[in-house]
Amino acid sequence: MSLIWLPIIVISGAFTVAIFAIIHVARTRQRKAELQAQVQTKLIDRFQSAPELVDFLRSPTGQEFVSGVRARQAGAVNRKVIGGIRTAVFLAVLGVGFLMLWGLAHEEGFMYPGIILLSLGGGIFLSTLVSVKLSRDWGLTDEPVKTQMPTSAGDVR
């Protein structure tokens, strides 16, 4: 067997593994969404009328149920924010490393990946900050939305 086939087999295998991983993640998310829909359907079917459902949601048990959903949602948002910051820091540090190699080795080949990686890190960090701001504004996190009330004495428009 000639060595020309080795890169073809390795690349094809890598793509195959990536495709199977994506399919697995998509199916897992789909199953989770289906289970959540079933739970919600069973909850709605349990009540005979809309006022009964409203009474349940106002009860302490209903409030606990709703707060559990909100806590999971806030947890998911926090995990994504932490993941975004982690990715941004990793790319930025890698970019700085390439730029340091460029300065030490005086090879222009290190400059371009350094600038690209540093820019990607900065962009991901900025997008994470925007996501945090929007999550707070939309009420997706535990923190309340901070609104500034204009003061009548100092309000100049």
User: What confidence tens digit (pLDDT) does each residue in 17-29 have?
Assistant: 999 999 999 999 8
Q: Is residue 156 part of a domain?
A: no
Q: Tokens in use for 143?
A: 């923190």
CB atoms within 10 A of CB 79: 10
Closest CA to 125 of 86, 156, 98, 97: 86
Helices and strands of the chain, counted as H and E runs: 4, 0
Rounded to two decimals, the pTM is: 0.53
Q: Give the mean pLDDT of 63-69.
A: 69
Q: Report if residue 78 sits inside a domain.
A: yes
How many angstroms from the chain centroid is the CA of residue 138? Answer: 15
**Cα 137 to Cα 146: distance, rounded to the nearest angstrom:** 8
Assigned domain for 6 exists: no
- Could you list the residue range(s) of the whole structural domain that residue 122 is in? 70-143
Domains of the chain: total: 1
The confidence score (pLDDT) of residue 63 equals: 74
**Domain-located, residue 1:** no
pLDDT digits (tens, 9 = 90+) for 129-156: 998 888 888 777 765 544 444 444 444 4
